[in-house]
Amino acid sequence: MTQTSFPVDIGILALIWVAGWGVSFGLIRRGITYLTHPLLTSFSFLSFSVLVMILFRPRLEPVTRSIAAPSVIALLAAFFLTVVVYAVAPRLLSRPDTLIARHPEEFYLSMQYRYLAPKTFELLFQQLIIVALTLRLAATGLPLTGIVLAFLGIFALLHLPMLLLVGTQMGMAYNLASATLAAVFPLLILRVPGGVVYSYAAHWMFYTLAALTAWMCVPGSRARFLPK
């Protein structure tokens, strides 16, 4: 992959992205979801993740060498906090059934442990694409500011359709979060040792906090220990 041109690399990443999500959406349309078939969903995302690792190995290897104990500890902490949230929230908060029914495609809202396995591999797939794209943009000589702006544009393009798919309120939340992560990911990946792991942990915690916020703030999900 080191000898291929920039347009070819970007085209390959785009094709893998479309193929990975195309398979995922195809499975979901057939009733094979994160919750009903977590192992099959996990295998799908893992397969595309391995493809990215094989094709872009020369570019990914240098950043993986910077992975050290602090970033791994941060990732493990993110996993642990998620398990704690999934264990405690259903005991203290009322389940937002109306929101879950309104958005059945948002599997994280129900806080089911089986969701965590496929989500792990989905985020691996996403982050590998993001890391490869970040490194490829950096290899062109584009400064960090330019890379962040490029990611803001790409993330906006990818997430704007959420306004149609999940409605204005949740769609705006997605776009706000994506804009924040678009600025954070390149900074972590290019400037922070072990940033590839920190970026994964940040992406993971977004979904944990999104689910917790839904349970806490959506009407009908008032904490049981608070006054009615």
Element (H, E) at 156: helix 144-159
Residues 70 and 194 sit within 8 Å (Cβ to Cβ): yes
Residue 182: CB atoms within 10 Å: 22
Predicted local distance difference test score (pLDDT) of residue 224: 40
Residue 173 CA, distance from chain mean position: 14
**Helix axis angle, 195-217 relative to 57-64, nearest 10°?**
80
Summarised one tens digit per residue, pLDDT across range 153-177 is 888 777 666 555 555 566 566 667 7
Residue 223: its pLDDT value, please?
Answer: 41
Count of residues for the chain?
Answer: 228
Q: What whole-number distance in Å separates Cα of residue 137 and Cα of residue 107?
A: 32
Output the pTM of the full model: 0.89
Give the Cα separation of 198 and 194 in Å (integer): 7
Torsion of CA 133, 134, 139, 145, to 10 degrees: 130
CA 31, distance to chain mean position in Å, is 22
The structure tokens listed for 30 are 């057939």
Q: What is the pLDDT of residue 167?
A: 55
d(Cα 131, Cα 186) in Å, to the nearest integer? 8
Q: Which parts of the chain register pLDDT below 70?
A: 1-3, 159-175, 218-228
User: Domain limits of the chain?
Assistant: 6-217
CA distance 162 to 174: 7
The three state secondary structure string of 28-70 is HHCCCCCCCCHHHHHHHHHHHHHHHHHHCHHHHHHHHCCCCHH
CB-facing half-sphere around the CA of 36: CA atoms within 13 A: 9
Instruction: Output the CA–CA distances (angstroms, integers) from residue 59 to 52, 65, 88, in the order listed.
Output: 11, 11, 41
